A = this chain, B = another copy of it.
Amino acid sequence: MSSIGLRIISLRERNHLTQETLAGSLGISRASLSHYEKLRREPDFNTIQKIADYFKVSVDYLLGRTTNPNMVLDDNVKDFVDHLELSDRNIIEKFSLVIDGRGLSEEEAKSFIAFVRAERSMK
């Protein structure tokens, strides 16, 4: 059902962290973290968001609702700009433009980018 345990394990090991160190960073006990990984306990919203923030993934990813851990950080403009040399298509795939919790379709995002370029070229 839920894959949050496997996701946390994967993220933790990918970053070469022990349960001990990660738990410390999250401000919880190692035992609690172990429980989350082994699906014996469910972290509360505060904790799951700390985990998401720590690994810079979405909560939906942690919950196994999406396979894409990438995300747009609203205040991380630099990261966004770093990827602007990609094609429109890649930009769209890399970042999900979201308004009010719901994403733009790929078509809309493409139109958006083309629209801004057209506007600018007029000046």
Asked whether, in the complex, the Cβ of A96 is within 8 Å of the Cβ of B111, the reply is no
Identify A59's interface contact among B65, B95, B96, CB under 8 A: B65
Q: Indicate which residue in B63, B71, B103, B115 contacts A49 across the interface (CB closer than 8 Å).
A: B63
Could you tell me if B63 and A101 are in contact, using CB atoms closer than 8 angstroms?
A: no
Knowing A45-B2, A80-B96, A101-B84, say if A69 contacts B69 (CB, 8 Å). yes
When all copies of this chain in the complex are counted, the total is 2
Report the count of interface residues on A (CB-CB < 8 A): 57
With A60-B60, A69-B68 already in contact, the answer to whether A108 and B102 are too (CB < 8 A) is no
Interface residues in A12-31 by Cβ distance below 8 A to B read none
Compute how far the CA of A74 lies from the CA of B96 in the bound complex, rounded to whole angstroms. 6
Which B residues are in CB contact (< 8 Å) with A98?
Answer: 61, 68, 71, 77, 80-81, 84
Q: How far is the CB of A12 from the nearest CB of chain B, in Å?
A: 14
Q: Name the CB-closest residue of B to A70.
A: B66
Could you say which of B45, B58, B65 contacts A67, with CB atoms under 8 Å apart?
B58
Taking a contact as CB atoms under 8 Å apart, the answer to whether B45 and A101 are in contact is no
Residues of B within 8 A of A9 (CB): none
Chain B residue, CB-CB nearest to A101: B61
Contact between chains at B71 and A71 (CB < 8 Å): no
